[in-house]
Amino acid sequence: MKYQVGGVGKVVVVRFEDEDDILQGLSDIVKKEEIVSAVFYLVGGIKTGDIVVGPERDEMPPAPIWRHITESHEAVGIGTIFRHKDEPKIHFHGAYGKRDSIKMGCLRDAAKTFLIMEAIILEIKGIHAIREMDPVSGMILLKLLDVPDDEKWKFPDQQMP
């Protein structure tokens, strides 16, 4: 296990409207606001999206099991954003329900809003992390970077460890 301690920077509240592309919208916002690292929450409606609901088997590299959302569903979940090659790379896991059917998984592509999707983005300051290709899994994963003590980020009223 590896970890770093940081703080919260900007807080962004987003209202996605019907047909808005959720993942592209999040990416556009963090670029515009110059947010490098963040955690975010989503709650609302989704009408299309591709999700991964687990690997076929517990082996490397994992073979994803895909499911497709093709009509309106209620959605709730949490995600993170870190840079991969200077571009925001989003990792979001959510639950998607319609009637008595519930799917849970990692939202990957083609995510369109149904009616409204609310997002709260919390910028993470004072940590040094990126996403990079993991040769074992073949996936782009979180990597915490080693940073010397004299290069740690500083806040006006506190020194981050």
Q: Does any domain span residue 1?
A: no
For residue 16, being part of any structural domain is answered with yes
Return mean pLDDT, the chain. Answer: 92
pLDDT of 159 strictly over 50: no
- Summarised one tens digit per residue, pLDDT across range 118-137 is 999 999 999 999 999 999 99
- The model's pTM is 0.90
Residue 121 belongs to domain spanning: 8-127
Q: According to the model, what pLDDT value does residue 122 have?
A: 98
How many structural domains does the chain have?
1
Question: DSSP secondary structure string, 86-103?
Answer: TEEEEEEEEEEEETTEEE
Whether 26 has a pLDDT exceeding 50, the answer reads yes
134 domain residue, yes or no: no
The CATH number given to whatever domain includes residue 99 is 3.30.1330.80
Q: Is 76 inside any structural domain?
A: yes
Position 7 scores a pLDDT of 96
142 falls within a domain: no
More confident residue, 158 or 13: 13
The reply to whether 146 falls in a domain is: no
Q: At a CB cut-off of 8 Å and minimum separation 6, what does 55 contact?
A: 62, 63, 64, 65
